[in-house]
Structure 1
Amino acid sequence: MTPVLLFILGVVFVAVGIAVSIALHEVGHLVPAKLFKVRVTKYMIGFGPTLWSRRRGETEYGVKAVPLGGYVSMIGMYPPNKEDGSVRPSSTGMFQTLATEARSQAHEEVGPGDENRVFYRLPVWKKIIVMLGGPAMNMILGLLFTAVLLMGFGVATATTTISDVSKCQVAAGQTVDPNSADCQLTPAAAAGLKPNDTITSFDGKAVTSWSQLTEWIRASAGKEVAITVQRDGNPVSTTVTPVLSARPVMGNDGRQATDAAGTLQYQDVGFLGIGAQTALVPQPASSVLPMAGENIRQVAGVVFNLPARVVGVAKAAFSEEPRDPNGPISVVGVGRVAGEVAAMEAVPLQSRVATLVGLLAGLNFALAVFNLIPLLPLDGGHVAGALYEGVRRKVAKLRGRPDPGAFDIAKLLPVTYVVAALLIGMSVLLIYADIVKPVNLFG
């Protein structure tokens, strides 16, 4: 396949994955709502004009033109006006008008016999289950994709097979022409080691892993040791003398460590001048939850610092500043990354597919965490409203006061509109930035 076709396939793969994730997120709301006998009038994927819909029982299922989300419509999302028990306004203020219009829309499809099927009459715990159903579904999908990634494909792990042999010894930050007289052969090149050699023993000890071999090499500076490799099915023995060389100190995140002043760290260790081939090694089921937890922790960090990170994206989009590769990106950016991964013909197909599966896992965790932000119109905002209702009722009961009834979350609609406007603005900014200055993950 051509790189262009592979790029398109990568974009389509992730686009379908996102669409399915959104659809199942809404199923997470739909199923408990129906189990609790709430009448659900619509289940829609996307926003804007309806492209296709079909009614099944009392619910209309459909797809809309703008595939940037979805929603489930339940009757009676907001309680009637407390003062008169209706949906009519008790005043003519702007905020009151917004709340009244929302109540009217929530009750316009409430018919005879639906009095006990409205959302606002649900007990607090049922409201929370309905609203947490969407994020819970994304969490489950994230776990499933993580399980497929780790147990089905595996983790890229360094093997004991040599990928490359450096010809010249080069100090950190310097370059040397391999054909010049300044090129001093590395111990590996001098010993005749070659790419695709598999190292089987070092200094008389059997080599079982690359990390083990690395530690032995680092500790053997200046010492001549025997080394055996498997080459084209035959054992080949020789000797090598690792040289003392300043090598980068790597952190737990896989990046070169720095000190408090931001200076890159190096240490003097034994050096041969070889690199390792990598292979996908399937992991046990016990590795899924820790990996998922780390993914969620990283996503939560991005969400927690979202305002500052969005400001950083804005600065980069309208200046010469580079984009933060760990910052937020839009669906356009995600599609671009997926396309670039799929088009990497030098990378084995299995590794490319594994990367795309991992991308979908991260996206689902991001959807779950983001929707748990306790602000309307996000699911977390509805959960916060239900929790407030529960606390208010509990306090009233302890004080011997009448039940205050369902919390009128429609009163928070002005905040909802502000948050919705900010979310739309953020989405537009991220899409613009991903077009004019996309994140460069692959150099």
Structure 2
Amino acid sequence: MLVVLGILIFFVGLLVSIAWHELGHLAAAKMFGVKVTQYMVGFGRTVWSRKKGDTEYGIKAIPFGGYIRMIGMFPPQKEEEYGRTASSAPWRVMIEDARQAAAEEVTPQDAHRQFYQRSPWKRIIVMFGGPFMNLILAIGIFAGILMGYGAQEPTKTVATVSECVIPADAQDKENCPAGAPPSPAAQAGFQPGDEIVEFDGRSYASWDELRVAIRNSSGTVPVVVERDGQREMLTATLMQSEQYALDGSGDTERVGFLGLAPTQVLVQQGPGEVAQRFGEIITLTVQKVLQLPQRVPDLVAAIGGDEREQDSPVGIVGASRIGGEVLSYEQASVDERLITMVNLLAGVNLSLFVLNMLPILPLDGGHIAGAMWESVRRGFAKLFRRKDPGPFDTAKLMPLAYAVSLVFIAYSLLVLVADIVNPVTLF
């Protein structure tokens, strides 16, 4: 029941995020006088709708996205181009079909309310409004959790002592493989609850600093710990072991190994720490989004039965399933489970922001790039006293937009199949 409930809660959260995104477009378009005929969550057949003013608000049967429909997305064809439209080339047919479909929505009384008629900076705000709403929601969630609930931070107190040395690339991280040497920490007599006061004659303010010192050390090192209120001197002989690099690259390096895991405590964060953590999160999100094309082979392999990585791309189905897994994870408290689910939802919103800002049609970033190019082009024309080139004709990019849409659909189907046959699991 908890799994099903978690799936439903997270799925609703995703739909709210989509609706929130489209609300940003809607509010900005209405603010600048653009007529919006539809505001829809989902695609396909309309399940429910109500019309208020000029706009029909509704929910559609396929809950994998949403949209608003604005009139006049494309400018009319220039007079000097009429002769070229007689071409029967498929790409030309696509352009003119798209232009004609957009023109059919414009009535004489609404001729002044078309999207393309607005100045470039207004169109940029309209198209940026959707991703901006996702960004604001992600910032609000992350900041609320970090400042109100706190974040887990490692301390210099020992939580667990490794029994043996396990390489970073070992498949089984829980059990010692045959012939594995005992860890230096176990040989030195470290115990859970020990607080490391000094390492090799120096004290360190945080676990992060201490960890770097351990990795850079070798040979026999004196360590002072506080145990049950008393200080004790331990002697550890560090080993060199292949461990993951601290830069998050996934590469391994040969470093000093002690064999300790620190305790974690909740620490409420200030605005500075929140800004730093959010910067790290958005940088990682940008990297993951840009890596989406190179993850195709991994997805195909996962469908074929190979192990699926935890950072593998997921769709609405996969993300909702993760929500169900989190809510049903009994080893964590209810608070921890809810916080994890909300954090995941914030991550989805941040991903939507980054993805939609890519400067390609039909994404919002493509329309933003077109408006920016129009502004630059008009600026140069004014500077050199040339004829105003007019609005940038995004209709000419519709063949590219259709091609990109097909790629996105194919990628989404690939992710959907992987989410069904070999889903990502966190625990």
The interval holding the TM-score normalised by the smaller chain is 0.7 to 0.9
Q: What is residue 61 of structure 2 aligned with on the other side? A: 65
Structure 1 residue identity aligned to 2:120: V
1:266 paired with 2:251, answer: no
Sort the Cα spacing of 1:220 and 1:125 in 2 relative to 1 into closer, same or farther, 3 A: closer
SS class of match (1:241): strand
**CA–CA distance in 2 between the matches of 1:130 and 1:277?**
47
Superposed CA deviations along residues 40-72 of structure 1, whole A, max 9, x for unmatched, are: 111111111111111111111111111111111
Q: What is residue 325 of structure 1 aligned with on the other side? A: 310
Aligned residues: 413
1:434 to 415, 419, 423: 419
Task: Judge conservation of contact 1:188–1:274 (CA < 8 Å) in 2.
Answer: no
Sort the Cα spacing of 1:369 and 1:243 in 2 relative to 1 into closer, same or farther, 3 A: same
Normalised by the length of structure 1, the TM-score is 0.80
Q: What is residue 42 of structure 1 aligned with on the other side? A: 38
2:236 to 225, 229, 243: 243
SS class of match (2:265): strand
Shift of 1:399: 4.1
Shift of 1:37: 0.6
Superposed CA deviations along residues 371-424 of structure 1, whole A, max 9, x for unmatched, are: 111221111111122223223323333443332322221122111111111111
Task: Judge conservation of contact 2:326–2:341 (CA < 8 Å) in 1.
Answer: yes
**CA–CA distance in 1 between the matches of 2:375 and 2:138?**
30
Superposed CA deviations along residues 147-198 of structure 1, whole A, max 9, x for unmatched, are: 12311222212346654456x5x35569499xxxx99994676x8x5x5x57
Q: What is residue 331 of structure 2 aligned with on the other side? A: 346
1:422 paired with 2:407, answer: yes
Q: What is residue 126 of structure 1 aligned with on the other side? A: 122
Aligned-pair RMSD on alpha carbons?
Answer: 3.6
Q: What is residue 262 of structure 1 aligned with on the other side? A: none
Q: What is residue 146 of structure 1 aligned with on the other side? A: 142
Q: What is residue 170 of structure 2 aligned with on the other side? A: none
SS class of match (1:52): strand
Q: Is 60-69 or 407-416 further displaced after alignment?
A: 407-416
**CA–CA distance in 2 between the matches of 1:287 and 1:397?**
46
Show the 5 A alignment for 1:43-442.
43-83=39-79, 90-91=85-86, 93=88, 94-159=90-155, 163-164=159-160, 170-172=164-166, 175=176, 186=186, 197=193, 199=195, 228-230=226-228, 237=230, 239=232, 241-246=234-239, 251-253=245-247, 258-259=252-253, 265-267=254-256, 275-318=261-304, 320-442=305-427
**CA–CA distance in 2 between the matches of 1:377 and 1:394?**
25
Task: Judge conservation of contact 1:187–1:241 (CA < 8 Å) in 2.
Answer: no
Structure 2 residue identity aligned to 1:429: L
Sort the Cα spacing of 1:205 and 1:27 in 2 relative to 1 into closer, same or farther, 3 A: same
**CA–CA distance in 2 between the matches of 1:89 and 1:56?**
41
SS class of match (1:242): strand
Task: Judge conservation of contact 1:201–1:229 (CA < 8 Å) in 2.
Answer: no
Shift of 1:358: 2.1
Structure 2: where are the runs of 5+ without partners? 168-174
Q: Is 351-360 or 22-31 further displaced after alignment?
A: 351-360
Task: Judge conservation of contact 1:77–1:119 (CA < 8 Å) in 2.
Answer: yes
Task: Judge conservation of contact 1:222–1:241 (CA < 8 Å) in 2.
Answer: no
Structure 2 residue identity aligned to 1:282: Q
Sort the Cα spacing of 1:37 and 1:160 in 2 relative to 1 into closer, same or farther, 3 A: same
Sort the Cα spacing of 1:316 and 1:224 in 2 relative to 1 into closer, same or farther, 3 A: closer
Sort the Cα spacing of 1:7 and 1:254 in 2 relative to 1 into closer, same or farther, 3 A: farther
Q: What is residue 172 of structure 2 aligned with on the other side? A: none
**CA–CA distance in 1 between the matches of 2:183 and 2:160?**
17
Q: What is residue 28 of structure 2 aligned with on the other side? A: 32
SS class of match (2:102): helix
Structure 1: where are the runs of 5+ without partners? 260-264
**Could you say which structure has the larger radius of gyration?**
1
Task: Judge conservation of contact 1:46–1:63 (CA < 8 Å) in 2.
Answer: yes
Superposed CA deviations along residues 223-251 of structure 1, whole A, max 9, x for unmatched, are: 88775445xxxx5x474533313265563
Q: Is 379-388 or 65-74 further displaced after alignment?
A: 379-388
Structure 1 residue identity aligned to 2:255: Y
Sort the Cα spacing of 1:306 and 1:224 in 2 relative to 1 into closer, same or farther, 3 A: closer
Q: Is 89-98 or 147-156 further displaced after alignment?
A: 89-98
